Structure 1
Amino acid sequence: MTNDTSHSYLRRLGIWDGAAIVIGGVIGGGIFRTPATVAERTASGLPVLALWAIGGLLTLAGVLCYGELGARRPQAGGIYIYLREAFGPLPAFLFGWTMALINYPGSVAAVATTFADYASRAAGLPGWWVKPLAVGAITFIVGVNFFGIRAGAWMQNVFTVLKLAAITMLIVVGLALAHGHLGSVMTVDTTHAVPHGAWIGALLPVLFAYGGFHYLNDMAGEVRDPQRTLPRALALGMGGVILCYLLVNVAYLVGLGHAGLAASDAPAADVMSHVFGAHGATIMAIGIACSTFGYCSIAIAGGARVLQTMGADRMFFHAVGQIDSRWRAPQVALAVLGIWAIVLTLSGTFGQLMNYTTVGEWLGHAFGIATLFWYRRRFADQPLPYRVPLYPLLPFIFVCTVLGVIVATAIGTPGDAGMSLVIIACGVPVYGLWRYWEKRRAG
């Protein structure tokens, strides 16, 4: 096997592959649990659906902005590239430090463990199977992606279809339980008081459930005709996600009622159990396992390309920046990310890491979208087939909303938010030492 940083990625992803990456990157396990939290913080089904619609529209604004950013810089690395060009190497390094080294492997470890939990339940396996299954899933995904983006995209497309099939079944069953009484969605739950302003707290889990739409931009260097394909795939994929999320919540509300949804620990399984009994929970466990496995595939592929771009920039070990000459895959970066995710899986420390890095992830989104203002000024005359509509309103709304979410998160969980900022700040001396070491090596 020969590796060389001079080799580039091959553009093999079409619009449907891109849309599948968006859908798979957003729909993981959150939609099967988060709606219960949203219902707890609202008084009826109407604000529940309104919050999911608002969250979808806000996220769509960010997706449309990412469409233009991806069209301007259609190469691997996504936000890291935009930050490096607009704000310099330090902010880009801090983003990579937080995301590629902590958030990506942490999310893979967390979701792989969720996959293994549901897979073992569906197969009737004892609890000690969870960690071996999670490690096996990560190893298998990394192995498939060693053979290039086509192999990874093929696997991703299969699991996207499977997760959409599970969601479709959930929607159909939920609506069937309504027996024509859709008005129950709007019934006010008087069993518990909802504090004034609680809708702000209810919007937080909604926005987090819509996260993950940036992975396609991480793989932009492998998208065919990216100036046209990227914006279309992003919009198509996110439109599909918004539709699925709204219909799933309607199914939950008509199947369980607002009070039942708020009290449920596993609303998807509860809805399925109403029709299929004990087998319903097994069916849903299989669906959630497929959904979470698909997410892990995208997170590994996208995260590895951020690591590879950092390595090629000598912001990380240079070997990680190599691209395999035969398969055009970042094999070293894939191996590094996979090994670190496995370490986090076996140690069980990923949960707290994910809490600590949530603020850093959303700060990356806010500053990533903010680079659009810099690109518009610096390259005002650059011809593009796609520009974000309603500029500068859409990026302004998205950035302000994300910053608002960060402030609300910091107020609600000051310890986690503070640790997130500490992790980011620790990257500053690491960056200084790394640059010093690189200069010593070069000189």
Structure 2
Amino acid sequence: MEALPQTKRQMGVWAATAVVTGEAISLGIFLTPAGMARSLGSPALLAAVWCGMALLTLAGALCFTELAIRNPHDGGEYLYLRRGFGARVAFLYGWMAAIVMYPGVAAALSVGTVPYLQALLPVSAPIAKALPALILITLGALNYFGAGFNSGVMTALNWLKVPVLAALVGWALLSGHATMANVSPITARRAGSDPLIDAIAGATISAFFCFGGWWEAGKIAGEVRNPSRNLPVAFSGGVLIVTAIYLLLSFAFVAVVPMQQIQSNTAFVAVFGQALFGSAGSRVLSMCVVLCVFGGLSVLSMAVPRVTYALALGEAGGTKRGGLLPAFARLHPRSGTPANAVLLQTGMALLVLMLGAFDQILAYIIFSAVVFLALTVATLFRSITPVRRWWFPVAPIVFIAGSSLLAIMLLMHNPGSALLGAGVVLLGLPVRWLLTKRGEMPSPIAADSISP
């Protein structure tokens, strides 16, 4: 009998949608559009890249919605891959997500938010140095002691982003700071733009990274009430909200600051803030950045331990005996959270933080992450029960093709990092073998593969 994650269903549609938007709308929203605009040199091309990535993301969201409805349990991609391609492939994803990639993302976001906190508060150098660790520990504690309370904090932070960013766009457009002269001509490319093919490739990769995180709702599907109704709204609605915000903010950015004045991402944020709010600009923009980053971190702190929990439960076969993996398959007796998995995620993020290796981790692992996303969607073609949706098989084909193209771009752009990252992921195989040899895992169960 297949062991499936069993957690309390206490999240509604608002919380689930906040998970979809939370990680996507983070630090990158203030940095990536500037680099894309400078490279592309044309507002029309910038809008086209955003819309193209939105279509790809929506195709993926439709696929993940179906997977989450079919597997309404915590674990997300790990659970889908285990059922579609077997325990070994799923373990490699879980190894990458729980031990390598997401701790690096959490560490990078916690460090990235410190300069913006310093712009808001008088923080001494020693405290500023300790702030990233304090942020990670605080979020870990919130998630450890209660999914309900942490879900409320996460939902509030991520929904607060929407009116704040909408107000930012509204002020830019209605206050007279934005001018169509900075946008016109819409289709012409500005002097100093990158070569067209290179610019489109780089902007597409940046846009994909900016949208990244919309799939996290699948990781907490076991905690969503009425998943067959709420998850489709969360995935599709969340992607549409993210798309609208990115398009509006990008338009506001280039309408306020001419493309010719964009020299660097960080300098652009300062120029944009000063143009809108004068001397208070840095503080206003810093407040927006801190809100967005904290919302993204709250999603990570909630979603990623659910992967570790599902991996431990699946690989250990639901056994109660001792060992390393079964320890992460236990829920807290009072809060119902995967407490040990939360501790692992927080501990790994703190370790990466101390090593200062998060930038390298992200560069190495992103190629493998894109490959796993494509493999996850491909599991729809391996299900015993056929998919009967109006969008099938077009949506998965579009997403797999788009993800494959992105993987090729990444491989061509930096083959060394991509291959090294793939090697780090494959290290999970000997780790799994060692655990199996020690008797801490049973052989893969039959339910791990449901392909015909």
Same fold (TM over 0.5): yes
Q: Which residue of 2 aligns with 1:148?
A: 146
Q: Distance in 2 between matches of 1:32 and 1:283?
A: 13
Partner letter of residue 358 of structure 1?
Answer: I
Change over 3 Å in CA distance of 1:433–1:57 after alignment to 2: same
Which residue, out of 161, 164, 178, partners 1:163?
161
Change over 3 Å in CA distance of 1:366–1:179 after alignment to 2: same
Which residue, out of 315, 320, 334, partners 1:326?
334
Change over 3 Å in CA distance of 1:294–1:58 after alignment to 2: same
CA-CA distance at 1:399 after TM superposition? 0.6
CA-CA distance at 1:217 after TM superposition? 0.4
* Counterpart secondary structure, 2:145: coil
CA-CA distance at 1:263 after TM superposition? 4.5
Contact 2:15 2:151 in 1 (8 A): yes
Q: Distance in 2 between matches of 1:6 and 1:253?
A: 48
* Counterpart secondary structure, 1:277: helix
Q: Distance in 2 between matches of 1:232 and 1:440?
A: 37
Which residue, out of 11, 18, 21, partners 1:20?
18
Q: Which residue of 1 aligns with 2:89?
A: 91
Which residue, out of 125, 128, 132, partners 1:130?
128
Which residue, out of 61, 83, 88, partners 2:59?
61
Q: Which residue of 2 aligns with 1:30?
A: 28
Q: Distance in 2 between matches of 1:134 and 1:305?
A: 23
CA-CA distance at 1:40 after TM superposition? 2.5
Contact 2:5 2:222 in 1 (8 A): no
Which residue, out of 41, 44, 50, partners 1:43?
41
Q: Distance in 2 between matches of 1:440 and 1:71?
A: 28
CA-CA distance at 1:380 after TM superposition? 2.5
Where does 1:227-242 land on structure 2 (aligned, <5 Å)?
227-242=228-243
Q: Distance in 2 between matches of 1:320 and 1:25?
A: 24
Q: Name stretches of at least 5 consecutive residues in structure 1 with no aligned partner.
A: 382-386
Q: Does 1:379 align with 2:411?
A: no
Change over 3 Å in CA distance of 1:70–1:7 after alignment to 2: closer
CA-CA distance at 1:244 after TM superposition? 0.4
1:331-355 deviations in Å (ceiling 9; x for gaps): 1110111011112112211111111
Q: Distance in 1 between matches of 2:432 and 2:264?
A: 47
Q: Distance in 1 between matches of 2:395 and 2:369?
A: 20
Mean Cα deviation higher: 27-36 or 144-153: 144-153
Q: Name stretches of at least 5 consecutive residues in structure 2 with no aligned partner.
A: 317-323, 444-452
Give the alignment's TM-score, normalised by structure 1: 0.92
CA-CA distance at 1:273 after TM superposition? 1.0
Q: Distance in 2 between matches of 1:132 and 1:116?
A: 10
Partner letter of residue 403 of structure 1?
Answer: S
Q: Does 1:369 align with 2:367?
A: no
Q: Distance in 1 between matches of 2:47 and 2:378?
A: 29
Q: Which residue of 2 aligns with 1:384?
A: none
Q: Distance in 2 between matches of 1:60 and 1:327?
A: 34
Contact 2:274 2:281 in 1 (8 A): yes
1:22-65 deviations in Å (ceiling 9; x for gaps): 11121111111001221132121110111111111111110111
* Counterpart secondary structure, 1:31: helix
Q: Which residue of 2 aligns with 1:197?
A: 197
CA-CA distance at 1:425 after TM superposition? 1.9
Change over 3 Å in CA distance of 1:166–1:124 after alignment to 2: farther
CA-CA distance at 1:183 after TM superposition? 5.5
Mean Cα deviation higher: 69-78 or 152-161: 152-161
Mean Cα deviation higher: 126-135 or 98-107: 126-135
* Counterpart secondary structure, 1:247: helix
CA-CA distance at 1:374 after TM superposition? 1.3
Mean Cα deviation higher: 143-152 or 281-290: 143-152
CA-CA distance at 1:277 after TM superposition? 1.7
